[in-house]
Amino acid sequence: MSLHPQGVAQSLPAAAGEQAPARPRSRRWRPARIGIYAFLSTAALFFLLPLYVMIVTSLKSMDEIRGSGIFALPLAATLEPWRQAWSTVCTGAACEGLRTGFRNSVAITVPSTLLPILIGAVNGYALSFWRPRFANLLFGVLMAGAFVPVQVMIYPLVRVMALAGVFGSLPAIVLVHLVFGMPMMTLLFRNYYCSVPQELFQAARVDGAGFWRIFIRIMLPMSLPIIVVAAIIQVTGVWNDYILGLVFAGRENLPMTVQLNNVINTTTGTRLYNVNMAATILTALVPLTLYFASGRWFVRGIAAGAVKG
């Protein structure tokens, strides 16, 4: 028991964070570690295989495909299948390639993202701050509706659209995406606004601001992170949609997914696998790019949606 006036240690840089490492390093794991990496690499291969095959097949000529195995790298890589997929394949009546589908998908996706986000934000805002009576019950039914198969609602919606005279047009498909996108969008924004302190809202009300002013001036500017997440989820969902586009968009507005299926599964004659694969990649390009570019936001969106949902 002694006093240490100088301290035992020499002068020192500041200690790292107080907590010891969260997961204790264990020395017993050396052999098991190899097993872990082995499992993960095998799994990664399984997951990457289709992507690899898609890309590789789309760069080969038909002779090469018939000649070599499905996993072989292209000997004479060519972009001809891509060109064909984009501008000349037959999608039903026309043989204009998938570019019309691409254009249609964009035309569908943009409003089908903006509108549900806007309305979802207003809904989430009203639900979490204003809490009108019966609103929670309404929200509960909306959420339940998200789990119900679309087939239960699809025919009546067709009739309603037909009655309104908009069936088979761009407004119809956008409206349908609004209906089916509302649960998820509302959930995202509601959960987000629930994590905003109520005091902020109350202070604004004491200052005399009303419903729309608080929303537009205070809440919306704060909502950028969740808007990004919502946009990612909605763009992916709408772009990848098949069934709603098939039924509601009408022949001139068929999205890329529908056209893709037409190209591959309804062509007669020889199947051009390389063109098919190129077409598949083209269709998947937008959401995949979004995914690879957004990284953690994508995961955040899943967690945000699924945790409370």
Q: How far is the CB of 124 from another protein (least distance, A)?
A: 10
Q: How far is the CB of 114 from another protein (least distance, A)?
A: 14
Decide whether 78 or 240 has the Cβ nearer to another protein: 240
Residue 17 DSSP symbol: -
Q: How far is the CB of 26 from another protein (least distance, A)?
A: 7
Q: How far is the CB of 68 from another protein (least distance, A)?
A: 9
Decide whether 95 or 299 has the Cβ nearer to another protein: 299
Three-state DSSP class for 223? coil
Q: How many CB atoms lie within 10 A of CB 2?
A: 4
Decide whether 127 or 231 has the Cβ nearer to another protein: 127
Q: How far is the CB of 277 from another protein (least distance, A)?
A: 7
Round to whole Å and give the CA distance between 177 and 171: 10
* HSE (side-chain half, CA atoms, 13 Å) at 158: 14
Decide whether 211 or 252 has the Cβ nearer to another protein: 211
256 close to 102: Cβ distance less than 8 angstroms:
yes
Decide whether 65 or 170 has the Cβ nearer to another protein: 65
Instruction: Render 245-274 in DSSP notation, one character per residue.
Output: HHHHS-GGG--HHHHHHHHHHS--SS--HH
188 close to 305: Cβ distance less than 8 angstroms:
yes
Q: How far apart are the first and last CA of the chain?
A: 60
Residue type, 152: V
Q: How far is the CB of 104 from another protein (least distance, A)?
A: 15
Residue 94: beta bridge partners?
91
Decide whether 227 or 255 has the Cβ nearer to another protein: 255
Q: Token pair for residue 201?
A: 């809202």
Q: How many CB atoms lie within 10 A of CB 42?
A: 10
Decide whether 13 or 221 has the Cβ nearer to another protein: 13
Which residues, including other chains, have CB under 8 Å from residue 299's CB and lie 6 or more apart? Answer: none
Decide whether 43 or 222 has the Cβ nearer to another protein: 43
Q: How far is the CB of 194 from another protein (least distance, A)?
A: 13
Round to whole Å and give the CA distance between 243 and 240: 10
Q: How far is the CB of 297 from another protein (least distance, A)?
A: 12
State the virtual CA torsion across 86, 87, 88, 89 in degrees, nearest 10. 30
